Amino acid sequence: MRKTILCAALALLAATPLMAADKVKVGLLTTLSGAGAGLGVDIRDGFLLGLKHSGGKLGGVPIELVTADDQQNPEVAKQTAERLLKRDKVDLMTGIVFSNVMLAVGPTVFDAKVPYISANAGPSQYAGEQCNPYFFNVAWQNDNLHEAVGKTVLEKGFKKLVVLAPNYPAGKDAITGFKRFYKGPNAVIADEIYTKLGQLDYAAELAQARAAKPDAMYIFLPGGMGISFIKQFVGAGLSKDITLFGPGFSADEDVIRAVGDPMLGMFNSSHWAHDMDNTANRKFVADFKAEYGRLPSLYASQGYDAARLMDGAVKDVKGKVEDKAALLKALKAARFDSVRGDFRFNNNQYPIQDYYLRVITKNTANQVTNRTLYKIFSQHADAYAASCKMK
Amino acid sequence: MDWILVTEQLLNGLQFGLMLFLLAAGLTLVFGIMDMINLAHGSLYMVGAYLAAAVLAAGGGFVAAVVAAMLGTALLGMLLEWSLLRRLYQRDHLSQVLATFALILILNEGVRMVWGEQPLMLNTPAALSGPVELLPGLLYPSYRLLIIGVGLAVALGLWLGVTRTRIGMWVRAGASNRPMAMALGVDTRRLFTLVFGLGAALCALAGSLLGPLLAVQVGMGESILILAFVVIVIGGIGSIRGALVGSLLVGLVDTASRTLLPMLLRQLATPEVASNVGPALASMLIYLLMAAVLFWKPQGLFPARSG
């Protein structure tokens, strides 16, 4: 008798994968503690809002969300990812903020053949030769925002620059991207400063920048690093002579909320802005404000889009997430309304999209926030896609 | 190399060192008197910064914010000592490390529950938000000058307090030989609660003064705590003088290595190599300094305890 029940149970277990899934399991692994927690929380909140907009389901299938904290630590992230893949058996993964964490987790996820939808980290490695059919990026390739600023700084006629970035993969990508478009006889990079990741006091770097006497400065400093830097930049009086440029996330709502007035006048580039005028974005921004009581940041918009992309893809495969080939194809087709307007994947599964210039000003309600000025790039792709062998 | 840059960096090193001193002073006394390793010291620094931000956001002035942060954090510190840490004195260092590490996690989570995950806004008072011209061509942020002033005043006050007052005498006695001090009738328990409260207040002073320069965020105490430990190891455990000298040394070396090293490397190697090696070497230099000090003076520069 016992044997029969066991056999029946085993048969049932074995039969499960053949039926359409009764639920989709999603692993949301992101930074929820430590210095980078604000970024992970915005991705998570955006993602949760995306789920809410599809009725707590993905493509009509109920979802089970497993949330985990990577502590911004590649080692912890790798172990947690293994737990999500082996014990929780997730069907899809998303959430990682930092490129060094993504590079540590990637191989584990790809080996398990689980599609990963990056809501932020876009390392150049996975865009080029190490591109992978299981890696999708719904944000941007690490260089893109910096390329857009490089082009702008050159066009605005700034001739002498100091650039500053943390010494880690995305920092190097950033400066590479910036220099790809800021070059020519009228472009001089007077100083290139690399700092420790997570550094908060920039007195030494600011003194160095002052000594170089540039007319503009470009910074790539995510999260608290950017908050600290901008406060000190203004306190040192450098904002009077030096125009400050940064990528969108160094000048987004999360940073503005912590810095306030000293941020006025900073130029930055983004593929998304809360004032972009399209139906999906208006709904997203209004609902985010209502739900969480703050303006969404670019991270939140990316988390939201990751959920919408998953929803579209699961709908396309009619809930059969076990059919990996079909699921990958559906993800790549990206049939969803992005809050940033036009969006499609390149052959390396990184976005081809528009990039805009924004400036931080006071709005009509006297709040400090971003205003979109104009489009820098139309349908811009990254520089690594050519070396990716995927078609 | 121009003298403006060098002077500015010296001031930066001094300012950073003095802030480290505020953290290291409390840490070294706690470690010195009670032989207690308190990893949660940095969390008190974070609590101080958050309290200051909260008071400022509620409409209090900057001075009120700093004072409130110091009082609030001192209270919290004494409460922690009385309710929890007291029970750990007789245990070995491993238990202390485990318990106070747990305290870090609890305090981080507590701050997150009260104020949320997003960094808070805490800005310099308007009057101090620009630079001043110290000498022709030498501009320096006025707020950092204020920090230097406060840091020097506190260092002087602590030195007077420890060397010239009766409580200071007890503290010195407790740090250099605890059993003997107790035998002579010093109530080390009460003394220690007091020292802990003072240490917490100094943490809060550092946190609320640095808050306007740095991001006020959960976990902000951890990175600076490591440096505070380096300082007390270099300076010698239990010694205020050691903490001051160690702080200034670490502050100056850290600041100088971050700017001078890459410059130097650029003279010697290609920019590519310099930008790769420079920052890595700079972040190692403090630990090399610590290793060098320990090699020649295993007890630190000014050990309080001779035995």
DSSP result, B197-211: HHHHHHHHHHHHHHT
Cα angle vertex B210, ends B123, A215, to 5°? Answer: 65
Closest Cβ–Cβ partner in A204, A207, A232 for B213:
A232
What is the per-residue pLDDT for B305?
Answer: 63
The CA distance from A175 to A49, in Å, is 33
**Which residue is it, tokens 């190399």?**
B1
CA distances to A292, B69, B77, B113 from B50, rounded to whole Å, are 21, 8, 15, 12
> Does A231 sit within 8 Å of B214, measured CB to CB?
yes
Residues from chain A contacting residue B217 (CB–CB below 8 Å): 35, 37-38, 223-224, 227, 258
Q: How many CB pairs under 8 A join A and B?
A: 133
Cα angle vertex B275, ends B272, B276, to 5°? Answer: 85
Half-sphere exposure in the Cβ direction for A255 (13 Å, CA): 28
Closest Cβ–Cβ partner in B118, B141, B213 for A228:
B213
Residues from chain A contacting residue B259 (CB–CB below 8 Å): 204-205, 207-208
Q: H or E segment at A92?
A: strand A92-94
Residues from chain A contacting residue B255 (CB–CB below 8 Å): 203-204
**A230, A231, A253: which to substitute to probe chain B, counting the most B Cβ within 10 Å?**
A231
Within 10 angstroms of residue B263's Cβ, the number of other Cβ atoms is: 15
Q: How confident is the model at residue A204 (pLDDT cuts 50, 70, 90)?
A: confident
Distance from CA of B97 to the nearest CA of A (A): 19
- Least Cα distance to A200 among B147, B220, B145 occurs for B220
What is the per-residue pLDDT for B135?
Answer: 84
Please provide residue A318's backbone torsions phi and psi, each rounded to the nearest 5 degrees: 55, 40
- The mean predicted confidence, pLDDT, of chain A is 89
CA distances to A167, A257, A289, A359 from A266, rounded to whole Å, are 23, 14, 24, 6
> Does B217 sit within 8 Å of A237, measured CB to CB?
no
Residues from chain A contacting residue B139 (CB–CB below 8 Å): 210, 236-237
The CA distance from A218 to A191, in Å, is 11
CA distances to A141, A200, B241 from B234, rounded to whole Å, are 44, 23, 11
**Closest residue, chain B, to A260 (C-alpha):** B121
Residues sharing a CB contact under 8 Å with residue A332, sequence separation 6 or more, in sequence order: A136, A345, A349
**B117, B122, B227, B257: which to substitute to probe chain A, counting the most A Cβ within 10 Å?**
B117
Instruction: Let me know: does B231 contact B24? Beta carbons within 8 Å.
Output: yes
Whether residue B269 has pLDDT greater than 50: yes
Q: Report which DSSP code applies to A240.
A: G
Q: H or E segment at B4?
A: helix B3-34
**Residue B59 has which token pair?**
């409409």
The CA distance from A197 to B291, in Å, is 23
Q: H or E segment at B104?
A: helix B93-115
Q: What percent of chain A has pLDDT over 90?
A: 62
Distance from CA of B12 to the nearest CA of A (A): 6
Partners of A57 in the β-ladder: A62
**B104, B105, B121: which to substitute to probe chain A, counting the most A Cβ within 10 Å?**
B121
Q: Which of A77-81, A239-243, B187-191 has the lowest mean pLDDT?
A: B187-191
Helix/strand/coil percent split, chain B, to 5: 75, 5, 20
Q: What residue spans of B165-270 are helical by DSSP H?
A: 166-176, 178-183, 188-210, 220-235, 240-268
> Does A207 sit within 8 Å of B12, measured CB to CB?
yes
The CA distance from B243 to B237, in Å, is 8
The CA distance from B55 to A330, in Å, is 52
**Residue B40 has which token pair?**
């949660």
Mean pLDDT along residues B259-276: 76
> Does A258 sit within 8 Å of B215, measured CB to CB?
yes
Cα angle vertex A335, ends A329, A338, to 5°? Answer: 130
> Does B144 sit within 8 Å of A208, measured CB to CB?
no
> Does A228 sit within 8 Å of B118, measured CB to CB?
no
Closest Cβ–Cβ partner in B12, B123, B282 for A260:
B123
3-class DSSP assignment, residue B184: coil
pLDDT digits (tens, 9 = 90+) for A234-259: 888 898 889 999 999 889 888 898 88
What is the per-residue pLDDT for A18?
Answer: 44
> Does B223 sit within 8 Å of A35, measured CB to CB?
yes
> Does B4 sit within 8 Å of A35, measured CB to CB?
no
**Which residue is it, tokens 């220690």?**
B192
**Residue A339 has which token pair?**
């809050």
Angle of the B3-34 helix axis to the A203-212 helix axis, nearest 10: 180
Quote the distance between the C-alpha of residue B100 and its chain's center: 17
Distance from CA of A31 to the nearest CA of B (A): 11
Residues from chain B contacting residue A30 (CB–CB below 8 Å): none
pLDDT digits (tens, 9 = 90+) for B7-26: 888 999 999 999 999 999 98
Cα angle vertex B35, ends B34, B36, to 5°? Answer: 85
What is the per-residue pLDDT for B307?
Answer: 43
pLDDT digits (tens, 9 = 90+) for A148-198: 999 999 999 999 999 999 888 788 888 989 999 999 888 899 888 888 888
Whether residue A358 has pLDDT greater than 70: yes
For chain A, state the CA radius of gyration.
Answer: 22
Predicted complex: ipTM over 0.85: no
Cα angle vertex B247, ends B243, B248, to 5°? Answer: 125
Closest Cβ–Cβ partner in A37, A207, A224 for B259:
A207
**B4, B8, B113, B247: which to substitute to probe chain A, counting the most A Cβ within 10 Å?**
B8
Q: Which of A15-24, A252-261, B252-261 has the lowest mean pLDDT?
A: A15-24
pTM above the 0.95 mark? no
**Closest residue, chain A, to B219 (C-alpha):** A34
> Does B16 sit within 8 Å of A200, measured CB to CB?
no
The CA distance from B190 to B192, in Å, is 5
More confident residue, B266 or B70: B70
Whether residue A307 has pLDDT greater than 90: yes
Interface of chain A toward chain B, CB-CB under 8 angstroms: 32-35, 37-38, 41, 167, 192-196, 198, 200-201, 203-205, 207-208, 210-211, 223-225, 227-228, 231-232, 234-237, 254, 257-262, 294
Cα angle vertex B132, ends B129, B136, to 5°? Answer: 155
- Least Cα distance to A131 among A353, A346, A343, A326 occurs for A346
Closest Cβ–Cβ partner in B118, B129, B256 for A254:
B118
For chain B, state the CA radius of gyration.
Answer: 20
Amino acid letter, residue B169: M
**Residue B277 has which token pair?**
């090696």
Instruction: Let me know: does B141 contact A236? Beta carbons within 8 Å.
Output: yes
What is the per-residue pLDDT for A94?
Answer: 96
Helix/strand/coil percent split, chain A, to 5: 45, 20, 35
Half-sphere exposure in the Cβ direction for B262 (13 Å, CA): 23
What is the per-residue pLDDT for A186?
Answer: 84
Q: Which of A281-290, A373-382, B187-196 has the lowest mean pLDDT?
A: B187-196
Distance from CA of B233 to the nearest CA of A (A): 22
Beta strand A267-270 with A351-362: parallel, antiparallel or unpaired? Answer: antiparallel
Distance from CA of B129 to the nearest CA of A (A): 5
What is the per-residue pLDDT for B270?
Answer: 75
Within 10 angstroms of residue B4's Cβ, the number of other Cβ atoms is: 18
> Does A207 sit within 8 Å of B8, measured CB to CB?
yes
